[in-house]
Amino acid sequence: MRLATGSAGARILAFGDYQPARIVTNDELARTIDTNDEWIRSRVGIAERRIAGPEEGVADLAFHAGGKALAGSGLSAADIDLVIVATCSAETLVPNVSATVAHRLGIIAPGAYDVNAACAGFAYALSNASDAIRSGSARNVLVIGSEKMSQWVDQTDRANCIIFADGAGAAVVTGSDVPAIGPVVWGSSGADADKIMIADRKSFLKQDGQGVFRWATTALHPIALEACVRAGVKPEELAAFVPHQANLRIVHSIARKLGATNAVIAEDIVNSGNTSAASIPLALSHMIERGEVPSGEPALIIGFGAGLTYAAQVIQIP
Partner 1 sequence: MAATEQEILAGLGEIVEEIVGIPAAEVTPEKNFIDDLDIDSLSMVEIAVAAQDKFGVEIPDDELRNLKTVKDVIGFVQGLTV
**Which residues are near partner 1 by CB under 8 A?**
42-43, 208, 210-211, 213-214, 217-218, 247, 249, 253
Beta strand segments in 244-297, E: 264-265
**Active-site residue, selected from the candidate residues 128, 140, 247, 274:** 274
CA contacts within 13 A on the Cβ side of 64: 17
274 is catalytic: yes
Closer to partner 1 by Cβ: residue 212 or 300: 212
C-alpha–C-alpha distance, residues 107 and 171, integer Å:
15
Strand-pairing partners, residue 171, are 15, 143
- Check: CB of residue 247 under 8 Å from CB of residue 270: no
| 119 catalytic residue (yes or no) | yes
Q: Which residues pair with 175 in a beta bridge?
A: 10
Give the nearest distance from C-beta 42 to partner 1 in angstroms.
7
Q: Which of 119, 221, 228, 286 is catalytic?
A: 119
Distance of CA 192 to the CA centre of its chain: 21
Shortest distance in whole angstroms from residue 50 CB to partner 1: 24
φ/ψ bin of 118: left (φ > 0), alpha (ψ from -120 to 50), beta (otherwise): left
Rank residues 22 and 252 by Cβ distance to partner 1 and give the closer one.
252
Residue 213's H or E segment, with its range, is helix 209-218
**Of 277, 275, 248, residue with least CA distance to 120:** 277
CB 190 within 8 A of CB 118: no
Least distance CB 210 / partner 1 (angstroms) = 5
Catalytic choice (128, 244, 247, 286):
244
Q: Taking the CB of residue 93, how many other CB atoms lie within 10 A of it?
A: 7
Beta carbon of residue 39, minimum distance to partner 1 (angstroms, whole number): 9
Indicate the residue among 49 and 195 with the shorter CB distance to partner 1: 195
Strands (E), the chain: 9-18, 23-25, 48-50, 82-86, 111-115, 141-148, 166-176, 185-188, 196-197, 206-207, 240-243, 264-265, 298-305, 309-316
- SS3 string of 59-98? HHHHHHHHHHHHHHHCCCHHHCCEEEEECCCCCCCCCCHH
Active site residues: 119, 244, 274
